Structure 1
Amino acid sequence: MKKIMALLMLAMIALMPSACAQDIGDVNGDDSISIADVVYLFKHRGVGLDVGDLNCDNSVNVVDVVYLFKNYDTFRDPVVFAENFEMDPNWDEGYCYIVDSQENKYVLLQAGATDPQIEGATVLDVPSTSIVTMTNAPIVATADILNVDYCYESIKGMPNTYTKYSDELLQRYDDGLIVHTGSISEMDYEAVASIDPDIVFLSYRVQQDAMEEKLDELEILSCRCHVYLEPTFMGRTEWIKFGAAFWGIENSDTIEDYFQETWQKRNELLRTTANVDDYPAVVSFSWSSSTDMATIYGAQQFYNKMANEFGGEFIFNDVPGTSTVRLDKETFYERAQTADVCILRSYTDVITKEDLLAVNPDFADFESFKNGRFYVTHSDSYIDETKDPIGFMDDNARMIHPELFSNGDSNLKYHYKIQ
């Protein structure tokens, strides 16, 4: 599909925040970001796309110089992408200040450091030694990314359904070291109270609003993590910084390096897809066989914004926000049946055409089914997208524009190509 919105896409890219740490914005390599980098880039245009193409338009030119000049101050901000938490790391002074998705404030204080006395903030000693998480993100995946014993040891309680996503946590659960604390929608408060946790991590789900209220009554500290309401995938990924902060300063460099690698890959994919002429119509959705209805996220949610960023056009761009929206069959079919690319988010493995048509036989009439561009996520992809955001982004770019990549969409990591 040809798209008149090409200029709007370029404008969107120009307005997107650039590097959130020095690895990219530090053009001259002096471990800082300042006007000196602007001057250096002006004089040295041959620095390479990975260093100088700050607006991701697949070239290094005066536009990047101007972009750096206008934004070099903001490049140094500790949090750029995530919109549902705030973070001000002051580890050189022994603490990190964090605000969660419900405006709850915390000072994470290293041993021996002085409390900065921030009004309204709860002080927590770090590294935390007793954590309960009622959501997979960001704690479960961050623990696996860090792969440090004391991080795993601090996780004392979680729904047992999440333990299967981490070999180490599953072993600890089987060994009786992790307590089953209920489900994503119903907490076992006795089990949580028996742990006496430093903090309980909760998600954006409405059922967990009641959990927060009950934990307040029990005088148990909780923290809200609206990871899935982030409007960008980099914002969703940046929650690993939030999770890692509760384990203290020791992991900050590891997590920053991990985040930088992800950011660089995202820029590489933007450059790869920057100059396409065809913008395939894309729909990302889940399907309920019991209700015969589709569920999508609003156009500002990260799955759908990723489709737009990587040279596609989400077919429900007129549906605002980041929350889920249920669509009746007729409304959904009106656009989805003719979409070039369909990406079904599934929590069971749907691998073959027969598997897919067992979910909904009407998918056989979809254009994407006929042209071989119907994809289904692996059942645990929502864990994989945090542990390996680079692989997840690469999958999405390949599904939208397989012609731009060697091997096309034939070797996806976290999606099945229905064929």
Structure 2
Amino acid sequence: MKKLILLSILSLILMPSIVGEKFGDVNEDGSINIIDVVYLFKNRNLDYEVGDINCDNSINIIDVVYLFKHYDQMREPIVFAEHFKLEPHWDNGYCVVIDSEDNKFVLLEDGGTNPNIPDAKVINAPVGKIATIFYCPTVSTADILKDASCYDSIKGTTGYVIGYSPELTTRYNEGKIADIGKSSSINYETVLNISPDIVFLGDWSSHDTMEEQLVKNGLTVSRFYTYDEPTYMGRIEWIKFSAAFWGEDKYNKTENYFQDAWKARNDILRKVYAENDYPSVTLFSWSKYKDAPGVYGSAHYYNKMANNFKGEYVFNDIPGTSFQYLDKETFYERAMDSDVCIMRHYYSNEITTKEELFGNYSTANFDKFKSLQNGRFYITKPKYYVYEAIDPAGYMMDYAKMLHPELFGGDDDLKYHNKIQ
């Protein structure tokens, strides 16, 4: 699918400001301000990852103007995630965190100065005992940091989460971590026996009931709406939220990790910048129980990532981020002729061949799909969603290779997806 792109200085100035905390510090003095604008104006011979502010694969006056317009926003510590706020004051020994339900916490390190915020709950950092219901963001952040002290603080989580983390599995077998039940129904007695300093819950309606019950029993609850983030980088930025509860050192390490993911994302954008061939792409799942395809709205981070990487999501006219099932006729009308299909496979078996695909989804008529005939049909590997959280650079590169294999050395070495043969 071809698109004609008219780029002007004005359009680049008005493009959304989505930048990392250190991005824009072109003179590397530790701050972002008008001095950086002047520096960039005088020095254009910088590395792209430093000076290419608008990620158009060049450094010129447009980047200078863009930096001038947005350097105030670039100084903000949280610029991707929309469902939490974070105000680090580590120089004074504390950090303020506001979760997805506007619960406010002061994470106070030993010797730190308590800011005495009236509506904030003070929690000692690093936190001593945690119970959490999902893999992301708390356990995934521990798996990124691979620090024993982080794992030591996780005293309880659901059974499936324990299975996602090799370290937690080992600790569970050693009796160091409690299985608190399921994401939809926890064992309150087990949680109370842990006596956690904080319990992390997600955005399910059943979690509202859990919060009410836990608070009645005197426990502190925080809500994380990680999967409601409208961008992939926003979803990844929740590692900072979790790390803040473990103190400044862990927070700084996740900040560096996040910056690496941000740079990887920008490298992909630069690579595809001049590409005018937008492959049509269908991103979907298929329920065996409902015998129906399911898709997310165009504002979901999966589909936004495909669009940002110069693909054309075929259901861009479906608004929002919510998941919905489609009738087969509506789905086939667009999906069968799309250039690329990326299917999320939620089951534990791995699918690599057409025969396995047809055997697992015998009612789906995938044999008629253009993408399967052309070798552009991909399916996720088991537990892909775990790696989506802990290896964002690798996960984004999979998308880049599936959409533009000619630009990224082919699509035969994907990490978290299989190319159906």
Q: TM-score, normalised by structure 2?
A: 0.95
Name the counterpart of 1:325.
324
Three-state SS of the structure 2 residue aligned to 1:254 is helix
Name the amino acid aligned to 2:391.
D
CA distance in 1, matches of 2:135, 2:356: 27
- Contact 2:184-2:207 at 8 Å conserved across structures: yes
**Segment of structure 1 superposing worse, 134-143 or 208-217:** 208-217
Give the aligned CA root-mean-square deviation in angstroms.
Answer: 1.7
Name the counterpart of 1:134.
133
Q: Given the alignment of the two structures, is residue 374 of structure 1 paired with residue 373 of structure 2, yes or no? A: no
Name the counterpart of 1:414.
416
Deviation readout 1:242-278 (Å, 9 max, x if unpaired): 0101111121221111111111110000111111111
Name the amino acid aligned to 2:413.
N
Q: Given the alignment of the two structures, is residue 394 of structure 1 paired with residue 397 of structure 2, yes or no? A: yes
- Contact 2:371-2:377 at 8 Å conserved across structures: yes
Post-superposition offset of 1:216: 2.2
CA distance in 2, matches of 1:295, 1:218: 39
CA distance in 1, matches of 2:24, 2:7: 25
Deviation readout 1:344-371 (Å, 9 max, x if unpaired): 1112222221221123231111111111
- Contact 2:297-2:315 at 8 Å conserved across structures: yes
Name the counterpart of 2:16.
16
CA distance in 1, matches of 2:377, 2:7: 28
CA distance in 2, matches of 1:237, 1:380: 17
The equivalences for 1:104-115 within 5 A come to 104-115=103-114
Name the amino acid aligned to 2:19.
A
**Segment of structure 1 superposing worse, 244-253 or 150-159:** 244-253
Name the counterpart of 1:356.
357
CA distance in 1, matches of 2:13, 2:332: 31
Q: 1:169 to 1:6 in 2, by over 3 A?
A: farther
- Contact 2:13-2:65 at 8 Å conserved across structures: no
Name the counterpart of 1:55.
54
The equivalences for 1:146-225 within 5 A come to 146-225=145-224
Three-state SS of the structure 2 residue aligned to 1:304 is helix
Three-state SS of the structure 2 residue aligned to 1:137 is helix
- Contact 1:14-1:55 at 8 Å conserved across structures: no
Name the counterpart of 1:122.
121
Three-state SS of the structure 2 residue aligned to 1:156 is strand
CA distance in 2, matches of 1:310, 1:228: 20
Name the counterpart of 1:285.
284
Q: 1:26 to 1:12 in 2, by over 3 A?
A: closer
- Contact 2:12-2:62 at 8 Å conserved across structures: no
Post-superposition offset of 1:132: 0.7
Post-superposition offset of 1:125: 1.0
Q: TM-score, normalised by structure 1?
A: 0.96
- Contact 1:232-1:306 at 8 Å conserved across structures: yes
Q: 1:231 to 1:5 in 2, by over 3 A?
A: farther
- Contact 2:145-2:253 at 8 Å conserved across structures: yes
Aligned residues: 416
Post-superposition offset of 1:14: 5.4
Name the amino acid aligned to 1:414.
Y
CA distance in 2, matches of 1:376, 1:383: 15
Post-superposition offset of 1:162: 1.2
Name the amino acid aligned to 1:331.
T
Name the counterpart of 2:333.
334
Post-superposition offset of 1:18: 4.4
- Contact 2:19-2:80 at 8 Å conserved across structures: no
CA distance in 1, matches of 2:144, 2:339: 35
Name the counterpart of 2:88.
89
Name the counterpart of 2:79.
80
Three-state SS of the structure 1 residue aligned to 2:209 is helix
CA distance in 2, matches of 1:6, 1:131: 51
Q: 1:179 to 1:355 in 2, by over 3 A?
A: same
Post-superposition offset of 1:151: 0.5
Name the counterpart of 2:69.
70
The equivalences for 1:251-262 within 5 A come to 251-262=250-261
CA distance in 2, matches of 1:286, 1:106: 38
Name the amino acid aligned to 1:294.
P
Deviation readout 1:303-322 (Å, 9 max, x if unpaired): 11000000001111111111
Three-state SS of the structure 1 residue aligned to 2:302 is helix
- Structure 1 residue ranges (4+ consecutive) displaced by more than 6 angstroms after TM superposition: none
Post-superposition offset of 1:114: 2.6
Post-superposition offset of 1:32: 1.8
Post-superposition offset of 1:292: 1.0
Name the counterpart of 2:388.
385
CA distance in 1, matches of 2:238, 2:14: 24
CA distance in 1, matches of 2:208, 2:324: 20
Deviation readout 1:398-418 (Å, 9 max, x if unpaired): 101111012x11100111111
Post-superposition offset of 1:51: 1.2
Name the amino acid aligned to 1:413.
K
